[in-house]
A and B are shown apart, each in its own frame.
Chain A
Amino acid sequence: MPHLQPSRRAILAGGLAAAAALPLSARAQGAYPTRPITLIVPFAAGGSTDVVGRLVAQKLSEVLGQQVVVENVVGAGGNVGAARVAKAEPDGYTILMGTVATHALNPLILKRKPYDPVTDFAPVALLAVVPNVLIVNPSLPAKNVQELIALLKADPKKYNYASSGIGTPLHLSGELFKSMAGVQMQHIPYRGSGPALNDVVAGQVPIQFDNLPSASEFIRAGTLRALAVTTKERAPSFPDVPTLAEAGLPNYETYTWNALFAPPGTPRPIVDALNAAARKALADPALVERLKTFSAKVQLSTPEELGEHVKAETAKWTPVVREAGIQAD
């Protein structure tokens, strides 16, 4: 049978001793946290948000002296998990690993909104940003972004591009590319980035927008060609790949981000304690290095900055979503 790791056991024992020493009355805010915290990851286990969530949760457990347990609450593109946290007790024991999908895109795409990304959460801290990448099958004659644009312009009906699903940041990265470059290509949605990669590697679909982490090994092995990354700066793991801005679309910038959110009305001291813990956790060089192996970059913020970030992202994506004409019910 699986046993607790010694370190976790020690933490638990430590927590027990500390908790037992406290009088009952003092157990409210002063000693937060006094019991395990649930970190809701609104996506399936194994995905990039889940991986970031689990790595951060492990470190947070050490920093906070209480276990941070990851619970995957999957459904409706992340909305089920996010809605769960929006309605949870604001006691700091249920927190969310939010993303650009749950806090900017889904609220724009879905007609029936289960929550408001601004008012229904207490922002805690931005954690990491993950670049997206424009990749093509090596058999495609385009060697760079300009050649791709020329190819697409020459035959606007011919080409398809794959993404990990409708309304995902990757789909919208593609739509933004189409509108900024003034080209046409047919979107082919997949169930996640794995199956999409398979068809792009096999040449069924020539072009794809993907997260840099899941595509990175294919780029390194040469089975896919990276034309550009979507962030303002080049990715440290792929210094030779230009940004779309450098490649001729000056204001193009998209990325996937991960941030911690608490339920609305969570007391300020708890939000601050979580923010401080996140900072401490992400100051760990081993964790930073681990995140870097799959191209996620640590980017911390204050709770206020995260609140502003959510608003800015919503403003940025609103026209893209409108232009792409995706509006589900």
Chain B
Amino acid sequence: MFMTPSDLTSRDTYFEDFEPGEVIRHARGKTMTEMDNVLLTNLVMNTAHAHFNEDFMKDAFKGVAGFDTRVVYGGLNFSLVVGLAAQDTGEQVIAELGMDAIRLRTPVHHGDTLYAFTEVLEKRDADRADAGIIRFKHYGINQQDKLVCELERTVLIRRRVAA
């Protein structure tokens, strides 16, 4: 590669740029469409047809307003929330180490819009000098300000190279 990583990524997304306790509101939201849910649910071979059979859901939840339709696969809800937070909290990530306490609080249907917030829980040194470890807590909310999901995520993240 003739470019360096710092040519291609933001200047303010390194280990040093996060302080425990700070809360970040990420710039973009995304509307979860039928295309997103059905394409990705089928792509990962999740066989539960509550996510891709409209006729089945109409019948199974007959008369339950708002629920008699396909429901978005929950794994995609928190994957999109991590994605919405990823340019800010993931661009310098060397390795995703793990996640914990993932909780899905509100179902998502086609047409709902998700937004992401992040709280910095903890920072610590890694066993290599060019990176550190950060534990984030991510929150997803919908267009009605309902909490959709929350999760903790631990990453190995690059330190800024001394200029």
| A and B: bona fide binding partners | no
- Report which A residues bind B (CB closer than 8 A): none
